[in-house]
Amino acid sequence: MSTPLLAPGTTAPDFTLHATPDQTLSLSELQGRRVVLVFYPADFSPVCGDELALYNQLLPEFHRVGAELVGISVDGAWCHRAFAEQRNLHFTLLSDFEPKGAVARLYGAYREHEGVCERALYVIDEGGIVRWSYRSPVGVNPGADGLLEALEALPARSASGSAA
């Protein structure tokens, strides 16, 4: 039923999605930085809320290892805005809304029957290469331990400002 995630070593497919109702973000704009893509099924569902709340709380840790965190679901940009405001989220949520799930499909992270994203994590390096991916059972919050270990396993970065 589930399609495979992109394997480590694959070039992460570029995409452009709405980050707010009037702004878009392309993956290529983040080139030169490490990116954590968090595919999740839905805004406001309890498990996603916990998962994203945990990552939100850990933003300083992600920044410490030089990573930008980006969430992706099929919810619309207005829904994302309400969700981010309610949960005090400090990272970008992208809306894989039209055509629905197109980016999630590119990343092997779409649940065709349910019409929502899988609960999947990607670590993409500075050069836009997938370095780690993980799919969690949809009802299980994957936590952050594997993600942080994957980020820390990346080779040290060459000169860059923000890392400690």
**Residues making contact with other proteins (CB under 8 A):** 47, 50-51, 53-54, 56-58, 61, 87-90, 134, 140-146, 148
Closer residue to other proteins in complex, CB, 109/144: 144
Beta carbon of residue 54, minimum distance to other proteins (angstroms, whole number) = 6
Closer residue to other proteins in complex, CB, 17/36: 36
Q: At what angle do helices 46-57 and 77-87 cross, to 10 degrees?
A: 60
Amino acid identity, position 5: L
Phi, psi of 121 (to 5 degrees): -120, 140
Closer residue to other proteins in complex, CB, 128/146: 146
Beta carbon of residue 127, minimum distance to other proteins (angstroms, whole number) = 25
Amino acid identity, position 81: R
My answer on whether omega of the bond before 99 falls inside 30° of 0, hence cis, is yes
- For 140, counting Cβ atoms within 10 Å of its Cβ (0-12 exposed, 13-18 middle, 19+ buried), the class is exposed
Residues with catalytic roles? 48
Closer residue to other proteins in complex, CB, 61/68: 61
